[in-house]
Amino acid sequence: MPYTYDYPHPAVTTDIVIFTIRQDELKVLLIKRALPPFQGEWALPGGFVNLDESLEAGARRELEEETGVKDVYLEQLYTFGAPDRDPRERVITVAYYALIPSDKIELRAASDAEGVSWFGLQELPALAFDHAEILQAAHARLAAKLDYSTIAFQFMPKAFTLSELQQVYELILRGPVDKRNFRKRILGLNLIEDTGETRKTGAHRPAKLYRAVDPHRVDVIK
């Protein structure tokens, strides 16, 4: 049944950038497209928004349908709308992103996806549409937010050492972070607290284990 309008309408999709850290690498969740266009190529999960659902609900639905990932905190990234970004018709996409700890996530490809996988940002395949640009924008946002937000805590397990947190910063920023300044700044923010536990690591003395004071907080640091 065709839908008729007095003037031309674009299609609207959502695309979702899910980051995690696995095997000491910053990784992104990609799906292999089961349908044209770009059939058989890798892409960000996403798809058309239903007219009766919010943008975020559409993003959550597509993410779960295509990858099995659910119950994540999505943040809107940016809306991409270059007139020629989709070969089919004018498609405007609202991009979301989320950071998740890699444990306990079971992937399951279905719906428009014939595959789903984590890819390190250094080993990306060619991506469909303008998804390389969307992914780059998400990575830039993530790196910029390290400086003024608690965003990186979303990657961490319940208890972690300062070295582990520093390593996450280094993986996102792709370079070394000064240990002394890092510790001073992080502890000064009062966003993590000593759990009273320690962890024995290698030949060093046991490292203190910390936890986020509020693990769901992603506020801007004042």
Q: How far is the CB of 44 from a second copy (least distance, A)?
A: 17
Q: Are 41 and 187 in contact (CB under 8 A)?
A: no
State yes or no: residue 88 binds a second copy (CB under 8 A): no
Instruction: Give the Cα separation of 151 and 159 in Å (integer).
Output: 16
Instruction: Give the Cα separation of 214 and 78 in Å (integer).
Output: 26
Q: How far is the CB of 6 from a second copy (least distance, A)?
A: 6
Q: Which span (48-56, 171-179, 191-199, 210-218) binds a second copy, by CB under 8 A?
A: 48-56
Q: Is 170 helix (H, G, I), strand (E, B) or coil?
A: helix
Residues 139-178 that bind a second copy (CB under 8 A): 144, 147-148
State yes or no: residue 78 binds a second copy (CB under 8 A): yes
| Selected binder of a second copy within 7, 88, 180, 205 (CB under 8 A) | 7
The nearer residue to a second copy, 8 or 202, going by C-beta atoms, is: 8
Q: How far is the CB of 49 from a second copy (least distance, A)?
A: 7
Under rule CB under 8 A, how many of the chain's residues touch a second copy?
32
State yes or no: residue 92 binds a second copy (CB under 8 A): yes
State yes or no: residue 182 binds a second copy (CB under 8 A): no
Q: Which span (28-36, 60-68, 82-90, 174-182) binds a second copy, by CB under 8 A?
A: 82-90
Q: Phi, psi (5° rounding) for residue 104?
A: 70, 5
> How many Cα atoms occupy the beta-carbon half-sphere of 147 within 13 Å?
5
Strand partners, 97: 17, 75
Considering only CA atoms, which of 12, 13, 47, 48 is closest in space to residue 33? 47
State yes or no: residue 123 binds a second copy (CB under 8 A): no
Q: Are 68 and 116 in contact (CB under 8 A)?
A: yes
Q: Are 18 and 51 in contact (CB under 8 A)?
A: no
Instruction: Give the Cα separation of 105 and 15 in Å (integer).
Output: 19
Binding residues (CB under 8 A) for a second copy: these are 2-12, 48-49, 51-55, 76, 78-79, 81-83, 90, 92, 94, 144, 147-148, 220, 222
